[in-house]
Amino acid sequence: MMNIKIEKASVEQKVVLRNLLELYKYDFSEYDPEDVNEHGEYGYKYFDHYWTEPERFPFLITVDDKYAGFALVRKKTQDHMTIEFCFSMAEFFIMKKYRKNGVGKHAATYLFDRFPGKWEVAQIKENIPARKFWVKVISDYTNRNYTEIQRDDWDGPIQTFITYSNNVVDQP
């Protein structure tokens, strides 16, 4: 049996998450036209913000004490006129060798439980594997009680739902 852990990434673990983020961006390059920069890196505009802004939460995912992926969760305001907010799965990555064996579902479920409330999970329309993964995970998690929407500012489906976790893990 695999020992899966999802833990908030410390400042000391930034380099690990940055390296995993490069793998994720490379993996994602078949759907995204972005090129590497002059240093041969993709980079991530908001990376450092995950350790400086209180509404951003970086997580590392391990399997049997080996790095297997990461998740970047963001608490975002619905609009600037209200205090209403939702949680967003900004980025989510499971290394290929750990896919299709429940690691991603376990990690996503853990994060949904950890941050009860309104959620949105968006995928770009070309990323069919991600779309299938998220629809299955969210459908199972919510007992099909979610809505799929489209927005003018995003090119793909967005699943919205509310979590009512009774087993909230240590809050952020």
pLDDT higher than threshold 70 for residue 3? yes
Q: In percent, how much of the chain has pLDDT > 90?
A: 77
Burial classification of residue 80, based on how many CB atoms lie within 10 Å of its CB (0-12 exposed, 13-18 middle, 19 or more buried): exposed
Please tell me the predicted confidence (pLDDT) of residue 150: 93
pLDDT higher than threshold 70 for residue 81? no
pLDDT higher than threshold 80 for residue 101? yes
- Work out the pLDDT band at 131, boundaries 50, 70, 90: very high
Residue 133 amino acid letter: F
What are the helix and strand counts (H, E) for the chain? 3, 7
Looking at per-residue confidence, does 171 or 106 come out higher?
106
- Work out the pLDDT band at 133, boundaries 50, 70, 90: very high
Cα–Cα distance, 89 to 166 (Å, whole number): 20
Averaged over 23-34, what is the pLDDT? 90
- Work out the pLDDT band at 78, boundaries 50, 70, 90: low
- Work out the pLDDT band at 63, boundaries 50, 70, 90: very high
